[in-house]
A and B are shown apart, each in its own frame.
Chain A
Amino acid sequence: MHLILFLFFGGICVAGAVNLLVQRHPINSALSLVVVMASLAGEYLLLGAEFVAAIQVIVYAGAIMVLFIFTIMLLNAGEEVRSKGSRVAAMLGVPGVMIAGVLIAWILLRHSNTAAVSMFALPGDPRAIARLLFRDFLLPFEVTSVLILIAIMGAVVLASKPEAVARPSAAEPAQREVRELVASGRER
């Protein structure tokens, strides 16, 4: 039963990921990503990590992906045109993917005797996770939050554009023309 569910969610996850790449419309790709996130939550649930699964759904599927879709809707992004693909991508990408695949297969085969994580072996309940986060790994946790804070500040700085006043806007040439017209009119 466990294996069937694992394969079921894994299959959905992979199918969603492939669909993400194949789809031409950004909304469809974003929705495929939601499917990937949700099926990952299913996999976490199978490991007995119900708290992580719930957080995965709330944060990734419920909040971050909604922002993605919000942005796509706001920009009204249309369908992408299918190109033939760049030659650099074909020359570097195909060998790269092959090397990566061989490497992963090699590592998996070398460690094939390691035992899989058995069901409910991980600390899944919120109490255990809180103990890990706020006692055993307090410093990395706090450092990560500082890192996120820096990212937020960077985003604010990038978005606020204090130099926008000094920079010539797109309307500048037209405005100059109008100003010149008005000035020349006065002279006449």
Chain B
Amino acid sequence: MSITTFAIISIIKSAAVVFVLLTAVAYSVWLERKVSAHIQNRWGPTRVGPFGLLQPLADGVKFIFKEDLTQPYVYKTLYIASPIIAVVFAITAISVIPFGNSITIGPITTQLQITDLNIGLLVVLGITSMGVYGIALAGWSSNSKYSLLGGLRASAQMISYEVSLGLSLIPVLIFAGSFSLREIVNKQHHLHWNFFFFPFGTLAFFIYLISAYAETNRTPFDLPEAESELVAGYHTEYSAMKFAMFFMAEYSNMVTVACLSTLLFFGGWLGPVFGPPIVQSLLPVLWFCLKVFFFMFLYVWVRWTLPRFRYDQLMAFGWKVLLPAAIANLVLAALVVALKPGIWLVN
């Protein structure tokens, strides 16, 4: 493949993936409003389009045309930079996520992934760990009490839960023997999903899921924007498109977490494949999307079911429960794999 074809294919893939991601983000907001409404026995958005399906578009237009206030007391450079930091890192994380096997169009065969790195998982972790700057700096640069408290809470919470999140993923790496997301998925063929590696894979999944909810600041860990005590937390002073950027960052982080749960624990795009070639190449993408959709639904479901933690409970849970559990799980999984390698490793 020449460098021009490579560049063209990469640009097309990036554009397509970002478009799909942003659409998914917009419709996750719709999903959240709709599901929350039905959980509370309401209708949710119904007016704009059938089932309110055009509501995200209306919201987007509203965000663009709203007045963009910049308070006189903010630290201006960082105030403007922080939503950009948040949204850029949130969207970049999608770049190493694989969506399916390779696809062949005419003479060109390409993987359904922007780029396959041998340290893919680490790249995702690194990019998401940089995303905390957006929130922390937003809280600080707004120069208001509620924002600062929200930013402080967000950075403390994200640092605390990042540790158990990272440790919970190591058993998966031990099972797969690779950091490449594509290889991790390929090791899970024939329903050897990491989730079914009882008890280590299962435990690792639940630790990962809980920490990821805390990392994305979602209920029951949404203390950085707890509206009953902090108005809106770190984005109190933001309006219009800057506020929308934080919203987009939050939802695309959710999509990344849903993708990672699918890839690492639920076999990614693996599933029954049949039919003519074109269906065969597209079915994996469908399985992948369905699994990701399940996790997005789970996010909404959890949010409208569980109440919020208290702040000391949150910290105690992270450091005294999740972290020891993650370490014990890691040590035991490593011991079992080292002593009886035949049981766990598929090949």
Interface residues of A (CB under 8 A from B): 27, 31, 34, 50-51, 54-55, 57-58, 61-63, 66-67, 69-70, 73-74, 76, 125-126
Contacts and interface: CB of A to CB of B under 8 A. Distances in A.
26 contacts: A27-B137, A31-B78, A50-B119, A54-B123, A57-B127, A57-B129, A58-B122, A58-B126, A58-B129, A61-B129, A62-B126, A62-B129, A62-B130, A63-B129, A63-B159, A66-B129, A66-B132, A66-B133, A66-B136, A66-B155, A69-B137, A73-B151, A73-B152, A74-B152, A126-B118, A126-B119
Q: Which of A63, A66, A76 has the most CB of B within 10 A?
A: A66
Contacts of A51: 119, 122
A67 B139 contact: no
B233 to A, nearest CB: 14
Contact of B132 (A27, A31, A54, A62): A62
A50 B155 contact: no
A126 B162 CA distance: 21
Q: Which of B122, B123, B125 has the most CB of A within 10 A?
A: B122
Contacts of B166: 58
Given A27-B140, A70-B152, A74-B152, A58 B159 contact: no
Nearest to B121: A54
Contacts of A62: 125-126, 129-130, 132, 162
Interface residues of B, number: 27
B122 A54 contact: yes
Interface in B148-188: 148, 151-152, 155-156, 158-159, 162, 166, 179
A62 B215 CA distance: 13
B159 A70 contact: yes
A55 B140 contact: no
Given A69-B133, A69-B140, 20 more contacts: A31-B133, A31-B137, A34-B133, A50-B117, A50-B119, A51-B119, A57-B127, A57-B129, A62-B125, A62-B130, A62-B132, A63-B159, A66-B129, A66-B132, A66-B136, A66-B158, A66-B159, A70-B136, A70-B159, A73-B152
B313 to A, nearest CB: 20
B126 A54 contact: yes
B208 to A, nearest CB: 16
The 10 residue pairs across chains A and B that have the minimum distance between CB atoms = A62-B129, A54-B122, A57-B126, A58-B126, A70-B155, A73-B140, A54-B119, A50-B119, A54-B126, A58-B129
B170 to A, nearest CB: 12
Contacts of A66: 129, 132-133, 136, 155, 158-159
A55 B179 CA distance: 13
A18 B139 CA distance: 26
Nearest to A76: B148
B158 to A, nearest CB: 8
A27 B159 contact: no
Interface string B105-120: 0000000000001110
A27 B78 contact: yes
Contact of A61 (B117, B130, B137, B140): B130
A31 B78 CA distance: 10
A73 to B, nearest CB: 5
Contacts of B119: 50-51, 54, 126
A69 B118 contact: no
Given A27-B140, A54-B119, A69 B155 contact: yes
A27 B162 CA distance: 22
Contacts of A31: 78, 133, 137
Contacts of A73: 136, 139-140, 148, 151-152, 155
A24 B166 CA distance: 35
Contacts of A70: 136, 152, 155-156, 159
A55 to B, nearest CB: 7
Contacts of A58: 122, 125-126, 129, 166
B182 to A, nearest CB: 15
Interface in B270-289: none
Contacts of B148: 73, 76
B130 A126 contact: no
A76 B141 CA distance: 11
